[in-house]
Amino acid sequence: MATYEGSKSNSDGRFAIVASRFNHDVVKRLLDGAQDGFKSSRVTEDSIDLIWVPGSFEIPLVAQRLASSGKYAAVVCLGAVIRGDTDHYDFIAREAARGVAQAGLTTGVPVIFGILTCATEEQALDRAGGKEGNKGYDAALAAVEMASLLQKLPGK
């Protein structure tokens, strides 16, 4: 039986990070984590492009454009959607998730969902370097591993 696995320690290729300015304090922590994750995977800083967008709703369009460019091995999407008093949270969280998934599926490039969807700011901070770890770090590792895996798989 053939077994395929990606490596979390691979310095090949360029990576993009698409980050939301909305909920900037949380997203900055995710970004710091992602940079640490890439560094731990031997991805150099000059192999990473950072693109800022207004909010999480805008992430999928930019992620799809970057993924379809042929320039990147993977795209990491970082944002934070925090529940408020209206239904706005539900629409933004759902469409951001759908759009990020669609960007990866339509381009064949790993587009990693590092957008927090939390009930409170405390939960978001816990996942952005607090007691729940840093999901930005995890997203960077997933990007490296998926890029490596796709290079090893048969087919295009």
Task: Write down the pLDDT at residue 38.
Answer: 97
User: pLDDT per residue over 88-145, tens digit each?
Assistant: 899 999 999 999 999 999 999 999 999 999 999 999 999 999 999 999 999 999 999 9
Please indicate, yes or no, if residue 154 is contained in any of the structural domains: no
- Statement: residue 23 has pLDDT above 70: yes
- Statement: residue 11 has pLDDT above 70: no
Q: Any bridge partners for residue 15, and if so which?
A: 48, 74
Phi and psi angles of residue 15, each rounded to the nearest 5 degrees, phi first:
-130, 150
Please indicate, yes or no, if residue 119 is contained in any of the structural domains: yes
Please indicate, yes or no, if residue 66 is contained in any of the structural domains: yes
pLDDT above 90 covers a percentage of the chain that reads 90
Residue 33 contacts residue 128 (beta carbons within 8 Å): yes
Residues near 22 by Cβ (< 8 Å), separated by ≥ 6? 54, 55, 56, 79, 80
Instruction: Using the Cα atoms of residue 47, residue 13, residue 66 and residue 21 in order, give the sign of their dihedral.
Output: negative
* Three-state SS at 40: helix
Task: Write down the pLDDT at residue 8.
Answer: 87
Please indicate, yes or no, if residue 138 is contained in any of the structural domains: yes
Active site residues: 88
Which segments within 6-154 are labelled E, that is strand?
15-20, 48-53, 74-82, 111-118, 128-130, 133-134
Tokens linked to 50: 């950072």
Domain count, the chain: 1
Residue 137: give its domain's CATH number: 3.40.50.960
Give the pLDDT band of residue 85 (cuts 50, 70, 90): confident
* Of the listed ranges 46-50, 57-61, 114-118, 152-156, the one predicted with least confidence: 152-156
Q: Domain containing 26: what range?
A: 15-149
User: pLDDT per residue over 28-43, tens digit each?
Assistant: 999 999 999 999 999 9
